[in-house]
A and B are shown apart, each in its own frame.
Chain A
């Protein structure tokens, strides 16, 4: 099988491959012999053009340069893309030489020398192309300005088994059968892509490997994976893996398909450990061939490249260590220690569920210290991530503060995501440890969490009185990863540093003028955690936290009475049920609400009617609705009298920004894109943008998402649409993802819905668009009070709806029994689903 075969151009007609990109180039290989490479060169047609930088792309096994065709096509004119076929692979020459890793690095250097690539280079590689490109990168540091890796590995992570498929493929005689004599391995790889790959694309991937003779190197590549320490390529791979430290200052981007059965998330974790500065984007749902599975990969890669400086960083310059800034005012645990000093026997936390539990400040402070010491001794270190699957209560709060004291980040996937959503969220955050109740641990069982796996019941044994405290963490340490509700796509992890959590605490303290005489009734789970750092007692009512609407009026009254609650935080769904069950309250229970000075309804838009009913139940308290999102909370706030006066406006009034928050609007263009510069002009509808000290740090392992949301430096794009009024108050008109873009411009849904809901026969309304963006029709979907049948609303009532919404053309009105809402808040209408539903109905027969 050692006969040679010369290099050739790919056959004509391969999907998306422009024949004019192909070049055959003769270069000296690592042994100094002339070999012919096939490569794609985006500058093939304009050899005189100059490149700002060059992307040097190396495919893995068993693919070829075809993998980079979209990159070649989409690269801007000043970026040269060179995508090689490794020797013995693709359409490059078959020389009959068995090339190991070190040889291949030398071969590639010979080629770049021949091509005269002396300017700035970004290496781009996938699969086993990763080590080759990294080897080249380490040999060319002076011209290296960036490194991009897609699903690859440089090392078997501790505790990880070799990828099962590779192990299988390498098993003795199976190797040749799998890789060379048959197309099993070849076909397996294209099948490793998600369901998206078309037959035509799969055929193109297989095009250079039609005969066993052309597949020899596929087998050799697999055989060259050093699974054993004495493997001939082990040293080369080790030195590349260790060399990654030298790349320290060079920007790195890791683009990952988490569904890869070969290079799993563990390999991503290994790379992130070696290159902690790397930007990372995980494409939920994508697999091994990540750039085939998700259309965003190539545009994201190019955006990242466009932001690169083309000045190579000197490798002698060490990566500036993050300054170990003193935590000072940001120490999250100070509040509870101060409270423990000032009123050791005062109540810190009351749990109303089960037998009920009351924890004093002294007990809580001691517990946090003991757990911090104990968990640290058991192996939870600064920078680790700890998934907490514990319902809100004293245990959760103690563990959270212990982790913060250590400098570990807590991963909190709330059950509002649903079981599969929680699993996906936790897997995505790649926690090092998990602490949970037994149900939580069961859920995390198959998630391959490498470190501790602790039951809440074991915590008492782990707590160590008098254990030495770990050193104090930096204020930039990751404090928490929480998740968006996933109403528009998979839930995104949101990373807060300790300073940003402290920022949120400070805003709450200032804005609500909280003192130690306050007590929080935390019916909205996230807030329970803030009590201790505020030095304010909190009570968690007896309710199923997974279902906010299970909060009963009696349970709320008992919780309020237990601490003399002054601040109630609750979601609209919880408040709805409280109102519905209010008739069960005894007179004494009603009296207990008198201690409340403030009721905050947060988490989703709250109907005015509900607020009025709450005010009736709690006449002495002020009713307010804070506005915010997982990424920054609170942003602004409105109180009941203003909301009452705002009826009939376009959208939901969410009020003035809270102190420390700046709000600006990025106006929508004709196509509904938020393209305008950030502005505070009044009555201009656009994307709501927020700037605040208590804002999230970033999205977790979603570099491109963070880049999009943070594209105005220092600001967060919320994905909400709204406008500012003349007195500086913010109005929310809907989600950007739910915008209706008609031929006469964008229409926001909330204002339409509010007007339609004024009609006596309408209970709830949703406005959605159908048809192509820019030519959408507005469709209104209602639930009715008079049991009108599902389907089309009759013509007379349809005309009433149209008369109610002046200036906006409504094509049709449909009736449903109920509107779909999100799990977490049980109140955010899923307009995307409704739009699809309406589109299917109104398309008629297909």
Chain B
């Protein structure tokens, strides 16, 4: 007892953000080592090979789809939106953690973000690419998809600004461009570092090209930090807006199960939830494979677990509230939609969702579990599965039984649906593995900022 009551340094101050005996130089060495190594680790080849193969599958599926028609999927009447839209919302959700970590946590001066922000921003970009692909290929006539953009044209056509799908177009494209810009801006000093260390002409040229002539002058740093702050401020509302707008696709319609005001916050919470889960899924193996354990530390993982637990409970609250409102409204269609969700033909999907999203994160109340990488990794996969099913439950169970029972029809996916989803992971991991190999996975300059050396007057004075 006496031991436990003693106030330790650990208990008051969180562990350092950079573990081990790292200094400025060693951090550069660690991060750049990954991309300067003559050959990536074997596991990189395995994952990259699988991803490229799946990307090939995706390509084949898209060609087949465009050549044949949307009917190759399981979509039907009344389930006009099936897996493609489920996948879209799933990937957009994943794409959320990046901006949250880089912008919101930046504004809140959460220094621990520095270890994982590059990583999660990259994940965001690639997830949004996957997400954006789905609405594009899911339309019946992809060859005229450009009609959703307000481009002046000789046909005097103009999009319908009342449609949430159009809001989606703007929300997602804005999010993508701001995220890309933010990510790229953060990369510039690091790219310059890589350029400066380059031993071949090609590397010098390419990294030099993208480093935009960065020379690390005081003035450049000053402007860089100003711009970074501004972009962070610009990106912060996007964290809330993108998934709110995505949720409008559902919330503004009049379909029971979709037509609920809780959707925007619920979707945002769910998106952060799934985004963090994906960051964990990616970073746990990555830090091991590339030897970044000292930069992406257990403290990062612990924090992320806490975020997952918090957002998981928010999502759980939303699930409960939906039921309450369905009952409280007295609207029989609404009531039926939710009873049907939980106990109807798709009950299994609903309970997969609840167990993965609400029940399984509860394990993170235990610090021991939060520090057990195997447990955390498995939980992060569970959350990913659960969040995919959440979108499936919302989209498909609401549509398959709406107002008139004569139109009720069960939805079953086809092999094309399954392979397209798998293929989208191929697309994601292809990008991601390329990123791991060719770009600094950790923001070198920012991590250096959180070293004690960066603050000569810290603590001891």
Bound pair (A, B): no
Q: Could you list which residues of chain B lie within 8 angstroms of chain A, going by C-beta atoms?
A: none
